Structure 1
């Protein structure tokens, strides 16, 4: 449900500018094919919360409240040619870090959303390779930065399984200022320390802009339509924190990895500001 104007965030432009959010966005427009071949979008772990439901729909909110977000992908090959008629799946957590379709959700792991399908959907790319989803800005859960999962499927093959990451400065503002997103504790993991985001690199940093009563996140997905990648598919939830093992950790048998410690004060601000380019 779209909140009225009075509930939309105020003062965010100043925050984004102060934290250098412009530098956190990656270009969503492929380079001309004549210039160079484009790097493939990085594969990442599928995570334990994927469901192959093939829910053909653009609006995946199912009436769920939250800050409106449109997600728009342009899918092309390494020469920049658009790839039409490919299926794109999208899924992510709600404003409090909970996934539909699974139990053991929430900070206390006591909530169940089994049988629910919110914030999941599939669309086919059009002739220009474009696909879009209407959703809400995702929340966070322990050990992971803000992210959205997606797959690109050609026929019966997933040619790309990955996640994309949203600007820390914008996430910080929404999580601290919007009641639906506020939590009893501070978000513990930022883009700059999330192991999955660091390994994936710049090809999965989404560019975000403001439109009337919503944000729009865009990202170019560069895929090999003939690829047969190995999919990293962690076990389904049970005995591990939401999202599986924390990035870079190796859980002991029967043990749950400790939660990362949230940065505070100036250290937190520095971690959200992208490093300056040398030269």
Structure 2
């Protein structure tokens, strides 16, 4: 378990979050310290940042325990059959020699990344590269690059991400109950949460697994970018529909859970194709996914919003598959 004194916790805020609220300042959080003793294979990055304003409201959490659950610590072996020869079992099979996906010319200007809801499932995070804690799933190298509106990389920004495991549950005993469904394993871990600083190219890499789904939401990854300890944008990233359909039809870590009940287009928070990750299957069966995140040059500049600030239809979300 985590040291409860570790920074980047918003227990009190999350208890009161509801659907349909717009962005509102949260106040600064302390700087991220050293990674704690939570099991996992990821190394720590450089010094983390604090937080300033953050988005509020939006999506409700999940309820009910997921079916077809797998135990943690699967070790990440690659190449287990099904799902088009994708790797399975977790992040242990990820390599360090995947190609650099950020070789394209961004042009003279970059389109600003706009805000989407924080949601109620934010919880205490840890500075680390591998955020899987040994849980199963398709191994994913998630590469994110932070630049300003002139396309110049921002060094030392912190990127904080969180998402569900393959069965559709979030982790953390400081997340609201509907995010973990009261599942004891989810409450006692902090899987698929992490924060890291960007390098001189504005890049940060996370080792993770393809997320799961829960009713009312398309599969997504939450993120917050902070510069100089101040929050510049909180938003979400999505996956290509065809890839999701393939994995949940045949991949051994997902097929038993069935197809998601919500597509990107029918998700009330989805911000459009520009928020879909670029993806590429690697020779070892893992997935390389990447996106450039463009932040405003100053907090004095207006923060745009995609309009994806509310919750799913009906004001709440249903359980993960099997819940």
Q: How high is the TM-score relative to the length of structure 1?
A: 0.71
Is 1:111 the counterpart of 2:183? The answer is yes
Is 1:49 the counterpart of 2:121? The answer is yes
Report the Cα offset of residue 3 of structure 1: 2.9
Report the Cα offset of residue 130 of structure 1: 0.6
Any gaps of 5 or more consecutive residues in structure 2?
A: 1-74, 87-100
Helix, strand or coil for the counterpart of 1:131?
Answer: strand
Distance 1:51 1:169, change over 3 A: same
In 2, are the aligned partners of 1:151 and 1:161 still within 8 Å (CA)? yes
Is 1:32 the counterpart of 2:107? The answer is yes
Report the Cα offset of residue 164 of structure 1: 0.4
Is 1:6 the counterpart of 2:6? The answer is no
- Work out the number of aligned pairs and report it: 221
Cα distance in 1 for partners of 2:114, 2:256 equals 31
Is 1:167 the counterpart of 2:232? The answer is no
Is 1:92 the counterpart of 2:166? The answer is no
Helix, strand or coil for the counterpart of 1:69?
Answer: strand
Cα distance in 2 for partners of 1:159, 1:91 equals 17
In 2, are the aligned partners of 1:30 and 1:80 still within 8 Å (CA)? no
Q: Which of 80, 97, 122 is equivalent to 2:151?
A: 80
Any gaps of 5 or more consecutive residues in structure 1?
A: 13-26, 233-243, 260-279
Partner of 1:213: 285
Cα distance in 2 for partners of 1:60, 1:44 equals 22
Cα distance in 2 for partners of 1:142, 1:123 equals 30
Distance 1:60 1:258, change over 3 A: closer
Report the Cα offset of residue 61 of structure 1: 0.8
Report the Cα offset of residue 246 of structure 1: 4.4
Report the Cα offset of residue 213 of structure 1: 2.8
Distance 1:124 1:160, change over 3 A: same
In 1, are the aligned partners of 2:116 and 2:269 still within 8 Å (CA)? yes
Q: Name whichever structure is richer in helix by fraction.
A: 1
Report the Cα offset of residue 179 of structure 1: 3.0
In 2, are the aligned partners of 1:40 and 1:223 still within 8 Å (CA)? yes
Is 1:135 the counterpart of 2:199? The answer is no
